[in-house]
Amino acid sequence: MKKRFKLFMMGMLIPLLSLFSCSDEFLNAPSENQLTPADLPEGVTAFDGIAESLYFKPWFTFNDKFLIAVGDMYAGNAFTFDGAYAQFMDAQVTSQNPILTEGYVSLFSVIDQSNNLMSLVEDRKSELPDASYKNAIAISRFMRANAYFYLVRTFGAVPIISKAGSAAQPKRNLVSDVYKFIKQDLEYAVTNLPETAVKKGYVTKYVAMGILAKVHLTLNEYAECAALTQEIMGNQYTLIQDYGNLFSSPENNNSSESMFALQWKAIATEWGTQNTNQAYIAPAESGITGGGDGWGVYLPSISLQNGFEPNDTRKKNTIMTDGDFYPELVKSKGGFRYKKAFSSTAANFRKYIVGSAAERNDVFFMRTSQNTIILRYSDVLLMNSEAILAGTNSTTAAAALSSFNEVRVRAGLPIKTELTREDLFNERRVEFALEGQYFFDLKRRGLNEAKAIISQQEVGFYSDPERTELISRKITPGSNYFELPLPQSAIDTNPSLLDPPVPFNFN
């Protein structure tokens, strides 16, 4: 019991220190408030408790608003009347935007905590078996690579912080060097992570390969992406039959389709360990959450609603539209039937709604235990198809069609005998709606193509209760659309962020 208590304390201590280290001071330079071997309780290794927290706590404010704001709302998948979110909807995000700042700080918190873990493990390397040492470093580098992957795709050039206690006033590094750094971290993770998870929800070499494949795809390195995805396919991951269980059923967390997910824990007395998405998503005054949350802050855009093909079974599990019935929600009243009057776009999101505290023992105010999936097997399948397509307009290659159609068949849709670029990206839009992917998918298509697509998307709302009088809105992004501004608070504490990016010293 004493040993378990020590492990528990380590698991709680490290995340708290990480949060303190990621105040505005961290935007200036990595924190110096790092643990040393002397801080570790007797009998506890540097790995205990720290790696566990890397799966959730430092990612909290990234998940709370930033991921959906950037990945979906900024690209036209969602509508809102909320001021901070509306900047993303209007593609007019300022450097003072609080959501932007929170996400930036959160991602550097992941980097900071990853670097701290590596520092601790290095200090106690002589006490650890070689496999344990390499695994701890691999998990740290995997998490750091993911944080940098989001940072570079969102902000462009950012400072590379490669170790705990790095110099103050770091300059931004070249985008090409940030990607090189990400690749090096992921390649180490591929080599040193286990083939099977040591604990349910933990990452493996195949997960690292999946993220590395997406990095290659982002850089138009199609052959490398195809090779990695094909090595993953047919291994230990499969599509689950019920698409909705991926997002609205915590008991199905870490399914055979989930590869890398943020592991949330709803604790009534603790903040920052939970998934808050339900609070923002559930329709206002619907009674679904059974409490004071459920505000319908952001809504499915009309464009997204129109993006689903007829009979696509994903639609009801992604968005609620007029007349949809959900027997698993508001069970005390026999289920929940959605009415379009709940929303100014005549629909609400369904993903990430799990129900009320009366129905579940892991739901509290603004708290659920629903994982946020960062990478799942259907993404590997569609990346494989995209890599084979290799930037061309169409293909009839059997391998590309096979992986693409596997996703469509699960959705109840007819198979394709020819895969077009438009087919591929339309499929990705509806498959990953509200998962923070659409903006990054558009970015891979190039600025001119993305601007043409976004300018045709209907992101307006209905002004009447019957939801028939459309106030049309369409956005035309500017030339800087693909690169969001650095937070002003980061610049204020580190003015060198305004300097031109410099090469990173990899020696």
pLDDT of residue 103: 98
Q: At 323, is the secondary structure helix, strand, or coil?
A: coil
| 423 falls within a domain | no
| 109 falls within a domain | yes
**pLDDT tens, position by position, 242-258:** 999 999 999 999 999 99
**pLDDT tens, position by position, 260-285:** 999 999 999 999 999 999 999 999 99
| 190 falls within a domain | yes
Across residues 289-316, what is the average pLDDT?
97
pLDDT of residue 257: 98
* % the chain with pLDDT above 70: 90
**Confidence class for position 129, pLDDT limits 50, 70, 90:** confident
Residue 474: C-alpha distances to residues 69, 297, 336 (Å): 17, 20, 32
**Confidence class for position 312, pLDDT limits 50, 70, 90:** very high
**Confidence class for position 166, pLDDT limits 50, 70, 90:** confident
pLDDT of residue 47: 64
Of 73, 70, 64, 50, which is closest to residue 372 (Cα–Cα)? 64
**pLDDT tens, position by position, 432-464:** 999 999 999 999 999 999 999 999 999 999 999
**pLDDT tens, position by position, 13-42:** 333 333 334 433 434 433 333 444 444 444
**pLDDT tens, position by position, 181-233:** 999 999 999 999 999 998 999 999 999 999 999 999 999 999 999 999 999 99
More confident residue, 167 or 348: 348
Residues 184-222: b if buried by 16+ CB within 10 A, e if exposed: ebbebbbebbeeebeeebbbbbbbbbbbbbbbbbbeeeb
Instruction: Kindly report the CATH number assigned to the domain that includes residue 189.
Output: 1.25.40.390
The domain total for the chain is 1
Rounded CA-CA distance 156/174 in Å is 8
Across the chain, mean pLDDT equals 91
| 68 falls within a domain | yes
**pLDDT of 11 above 70:** no
**pLDDT of 407 above 50:** yes
pLDDT of residue 16: 34
With tokens 């043409």, the residue in question is: 452
| 108 falls within a domain | yes
Q: What burial class does residue 84 get, using C-beta atoms within 10 Å of its C-beta: 0-12 exposed, 13-18 middle, 19+ buried?
A: middle
End-to-end CA distance of the chain: 45
- The torsion angles phi and psi of 346, rounded to 5 degrees, stand at 65, 20
**Confidence class for position 45, pLDDT limits 50, 70, 90:** low
pLDDT of residue 25: 44
Residue 328 one-letter amino acid: E
- For residue 153, the enclosing domain spans 2-27+46-238+484-498
**pLDDT of 2 above 80:** no
| 395 falls within a domain | no
| 328 falls within a domain | no
| 17 falls within a domain | yes
**Confidence class for position 48, pLDDT limits 50, 70, 90:** low
More confident residue, 24 or 314: 314
CB 370 within 8 A of CB 360: no
pTM of the model: 0.92
Residue 418 one-letter amino acid: E
**pLDDT tens, position by position, 172-181:** 999 999 999 9
